[in-house]
Structure 1
Amino acid sequence: MTSLPADLRRHAAADCYDCAIIGGGVAGLTLAIQLAQAGRRVILFEKETYPFHRVCGEYISLENYDFLCRLGVPLAAMNLPRMTRFTLSSPSGVALHHALDIGGLGIMRYELDPLLARIARENGATILEGTRVTDVVFAQEQFTLTTAGGTTYQARTACGAWGKHANLDRTLHRPFLTAGRQDRQFVAVKYHLHDVDFPEATVEMHNFKDGYCGLSPVAGGLTNCSYISDVRNLRAHGNNIAEMEGHVLMQNPLLRPYLVAAQRQGTPPIVISQITFRERSTVDEHVLMLGDAAGTIAPLCGNGMSMGMNASFLLQGLLLDFLAGRISRMQLEQQYTRAWRGLLSRRITAGRLIHQVFGQPQLTTAGIQVLRRLPFMTDFILRLTHGQPY
C-alpha cells in the first residue's frame, strides 16, 4: 500500500481524535472528562440535547463520591439527600428494614448530565449534542464514525456508552443479539413525585408480580419512583401503564400510596421497553463498551450510574497507556476485559440472580423472612452489590 505524503499525514493526524465516545450518560461523560483532563483530544456524541430526563434510579453510591469530586463535581455544595437506610418488601407487603453500609446520594440526571457535559467542555472535550452516530468502522488502526447527517470523524480509539440498546448494537453484529433467543423482556418506567410522605434518608425496593419498584429522594423535595416489569404485565392490561399499575403494582400495600400519588398528580412517566439482561461483551469490533452497553445492569446490583463510572475509571488508565504507546491495542482490549470482569461482573451476576427471584411472590416473601432473621446475610448481599471508594 502506498503511504500518504508527509503533509497529508500531518493533516490526517490533526483531524483524528484520540478517543471517540458514543453516548453521553454518566459513563461516557466521566470518561470524556478524565481523558480531557489528561490532555487527550476527545469527542463525545449524544443523540439527545441536554438537559433531559432518563429512566434511572438517580441514586449514586458513595463509592463514587471522591471520584466525582476529583472530576470537578461540587457535591458538597449541592445539598443532595443522603441515604443511609434500606427497605425491601414482598408483593404482599412483608418488609425488611436495614442500614446501608456505604449509602448513597440522590441526584437527578436532568441536573447531573449537563453538569458533567459542561465540565468535559471546560477541560477541552468536544461534546456534540443532538448527534446520532449511525456507523463505526475500524480500518488501518483508526475508527471512522458516521453521523446521521453524513459527517464523518476519525479517532484512534472508540468507546460505546450508548446504554441498554441502540442501532449500533446491530451494526456491530454484537453476539447478544443472536436471533432465536427467547429471553424475557422488560419495560422500565420512571416518575418524579412531589408532596409525598417519603421516609428521609431511605431507599425503598418494593416487589410486585414479575417486577419491582425502587424509590429514593432526590434534590428539590422530589422522590424518584422507578420500576421494572415483565412486559407481559403491560400487554395483559392493553399496554396501559395506569391499568397495569392499578391491577399489578398496587397489590403491594407499601407501594400503593406512591403510585396513587403519581396518578393523582398526573405526572407523565418516562418509559423504555425491550430491556433484556443478556450477557454482553466488553469489546466488539475493537469498540470498548462501558455502562449498560457492556452489560445491562439490573437495578439490584448496586445501581448502574455507579458501575458506569467505575468502568470509565478502569478504562481511562488503559486508554492513556495505549495512546502513549505503552501497550498494544490487543493488550488494551484484553486488559480492559479482565479488569471489567474482575471489578464488575460479580456485581452484575449477583444482581441478575436476585433479579430472577424478585417479582416471584412466594420466593420473595420467603427470602425476606430469612433475611429478617439473619441480618448478616443482608450485609453480605449489600456488599456483593456495592463497591468500594476509589
Structure 2
Amino acid sequence: MSSLTDKTAAEVYDCAIVGGGVAGLTLAIQLAQSGRRVVLFEKETYPFHRVCGEYISMENYDFLCRLGVPLAEMNLPVMTRFTLSSPSGVALHHRLDIGGVGITRYELDPLLARLAARHGASIHEGTKVTDVTFADEQFILTTSTGSTFRARTVCGAWGKHANLDGKLKRPFLAESRQGRQFVAVKYHLQLDYFPAATVEMHNFRDGYCGLSPLPGGLTNCSYISDLRNLRAHGNSVAEMERQVLMQNPLLRPYIEAAQRGDFTPVVISQITFRERSTVDQHVLMLGDAAGTIAPLCGNGMSMGMNAGFLLHPLLLDFLAGRISRAALEEQYTQQWRQLLRLRITAGRLIHQVFGQPQLTSAGIQVLRRLPFLTDFILKQTHGQAY
C-alpha cells in the first residue's frame, strides 16, 4: 500500500471514499477543503489509463478551477463541433453549443489526488476495499492489505462494477446477469489528421465509437459494443474491429490506424446499463456506481462530479448534526434524481437506438432536416455550469 498522506487506521474518519476516479477525488477535495477527515481508497496506482471518453463538459470547467485544477494553463483542446454517423456512413455535422475540453485520465486523476492530499485527505493507492460493514452508526472497512478503517460515512465511487456490489447485495446484479452486456475499449491514437474542435460519434452494428482530441496531438478513440459482437469473433478485439467496426466507412480509417500502430487497448467487459440505487446499506453512491452512465448521456466524468457537488453540503450537514442519516440519504437521492435521472434516461434511450443501422440512418436524416431537434437532444445530455 502507498499513501500520499500518512494517517493511522485507528482514526475515525468523517468520510471514507471507495474509488479514486474523478467522482471520488473531487468529493475528497471538497470535504478536505472543508476541514473534514477524509480517506480515499484506489485499487490501482496513479497514473494509469481508464476506459473513458476523456471529454469534460464545460459545465464542470469553473468547478474544477475552483478546486485548484489549472485548466486554463494546460493548453487543452476545446470542442465546439459534433459529427454523428450511421453504420453505413450517413453523417450529421452540427455545432456543440456547450462544448467541452479534452484531458487524459492519466494526467487528471493523479493531479486531483495530489490536490486532495495537499488539503489533508488520506489517499491510499494500490489498496482494494474488500468489505464494508455498518453497525452502531459507524462503518468498518476492510482492505486488501489486511488493515481496517472506521468512518462515519462511506461513499461508493468504484465505477461500473466492483466486488463490493456483491458484498452489498445490490439489486441490479440479478437483473444484469439476464440482460444485454457490453464491452468497452479505449485507445490513444497519434493521427496525422483529426478535425479540430470536433467530437465524433460513429455507429456500427450493435455499438458506437467516440473520438475526440487530447493534448499533445493525441486522439481518444473509445467504443462500446454488444458483447455478442466480441464472442462472435472468437473474443478477438482486433477481429471484431475488422469485421464490425470497419463496416462504417467514416470509422474505418481510425480503426485501421489503431491496428497499424502500437496502441495497446484498455478493455473492460460485462458492462450493463441497468438502473441502480443511490444508497445501498447506507453507502452513498456516485458516478457509475450510482447508475452506470451510457456515453450518450453526455459525459460520465461530468455527472460523477455533479453528484459529488450535490453530496458535499449534505455530508457537511450530517457530520455537523444538522440532519439525520435518514435525511442525508433521502435528500441525496431526491437531489440526484432531480439533477441527473432525466439525463441518464435520455442517454439510455439514445443508446438503444444507436448501433441499429436502419434506425440510426433514418434518425440522422431527420436530424439533418431539423437542426433545432439536434440542439434539443444535445441539451438533454448536458447540464448547466455550477
Give the TM-score of the pair, scaled to structure 2. Answer: 0.97
**Change in 2 beyond 3 A, CA 1:180/1:23:** closer
Aligned counterpart, 1:258: 254
- Are 1:33 and 1:123, in contact at CA under 8 Å, matched by a contact in 2? yes
Displacement after TM superposition at 1:229 (Å)? 0.2
Aligned counterpart, 1:75: 71
Does residue 129 of the first structure (1) align with residue 125 of the second (2)? yes
**Change in 2 beyond 3 A, CA 1:13/1:296:** closer
- Are 2:175 and 2:274, in contact at CA under 8 Å, matched by a contact in 1? no
3-state DSSP of counterpart to 2:59: helix
Alignment partner of 2:222 out of 222, 226, 229: 226
Aligned counterpart, 2:88: 92
Displacement after TM superposition at 1:292 (Å)? 0.2
Query: What percent of counterpart residues are identical?
Result: 81
Aligned counterpart, 1:247: 243
- Counterpart CA distance in 2 for 1:359 and 1:302 is 17
Does residue 105 of the first structure (1) align with residue 101 of the second (2)? yes
Amino acid aligned to 1:96: L
Aligned residues: 379
3-state DSSP of counterpart to 2:83: strand
- Counterpart CA distance in 1 for 2:254 and 2:326 is 50
- Are 2:92 and 2:367, in contact at CA under 8 Å, matched by a contact in 1? yes
- Counterpart CA distance in 1 for 2:134 and 2:274 is 25
Aligned counterpart, 1:150: 146
Displacement after TM superposition at 1:14 (Å)? 7.5
**Change in 2 beyond 3 A, CA 1:189/1:181:** closer
Displacement after TM superposition at 1:181 (Å)? 4.8
3-state DSSP of counterpart to 1:178: helix
Q: Which moved more, 1:40-49 or 1:264-273?
A: 264-273
- Counterpart CA distance in 2 for 1:324 and 1:302 is 35
- Counterpart CA distance in 2 for 1:305 and 1:34 is 16
Amino acid aligned to 1:174: R
Displacement after TM superposition at 1:370 (Å)? 0.4
- Counterpart CA distance in 1 for 2:126 and 2:109 is 14
Displacement after TM superposition at 1:13 (Å)? 12
**Change in 2 beyond 3 A, CA 1:13/1:323:** farther
Aligned counterpart, 1:24: 20
- Are 1:91 and 1:359, in contact at CA under 8 Å, matched by a contact in 2? yes
Amino acid aligned to 1:370: V
Q: Which moved more, 1:262-271 or 1:217-226?
A: 262-271
**Change in 2 beyond 3 A, CA 1:314/1:205:** same
Aligned counterpart, 2:351: 355
Q: Which runs of 5+ in 1 are unaligned?
A: 1-11
Aligned counterpart, 1:3: none
Aligned counterpart, 2:381: 385
**Change in 2 beyond 3 A, CA 1:332/1:180:** closer
- Are 1:86 and 1:202, in contact at CA under 8 Å, matched by a contact in 2? yes
3-state DSSP of counterpart to 1:226: strand
Q: Which runs of 5+ in 2 are unaligned?
A: 1-7
- Are 1:32 and 1:44, in contact at CA under 8 Å, matched by a contact in 2? yes
3-state DSSP of counterpart to 2:161: coil
- Are 2:273 and 2:291, in contact at CA under 8 Å, matched by a contact in 1? yes
Alignment partner of 1:299 out of 284, 295, 302: 295
- Counterpart CA distance in 2 for 1:221 and 1:184 is 36
- Counterpart CA distance in 2 for 1:223 and 1:57 is 10
Alignment partner of 1:216 out of 209, 212, 215: 212
- Counterpart CA distance in 1 for 2:77 and 2:17 is 31
Does residue 313 of the first structure (1) align with residue 340 of the second (2)? no
Displacement after TM superposition at 1:196 (Å)? 3.2
Amino acid aligned to 1:239: N
3-state DSSP of counterpart to 2:155: strand
3-state DSSP of counterpart to 2:172: helix
Moved over 2 A (4+): none
- Counterpart CA distance in 2 for 1:170 and 1:137 is 13
- Counterpart CA distance in 1 for 2:228 and 2:17 is 35
- Counterpart CA distance in 1 for 2:93 and 2:328 is 43
- Are 2:140 and 2:150, in contact at CA under 8 Å, matched by a contact in 1? yes
Aligned counterpart, 1:328: 324
Aligned counterpart, 2:30: 34
Aligned counterpart, 2:137: 141
Amino acid aligned to 2:330: Q
Aligned counterpart, 1:366: 362
Give the TM-score of the pair, scaled to structure 1. Answer: 0.96
Displacement after TM superposition at 1:266 (Å)? 2.6
Does residue 164 of the first structure (1) align with residue 160 of the second (2)? yes
- Are 2:9 and 2:148, in contact at CA under 8 Å, matched by a contact in 1? no
**Change in 2 beyond 3 A, CA 1:174/1:180:** closer
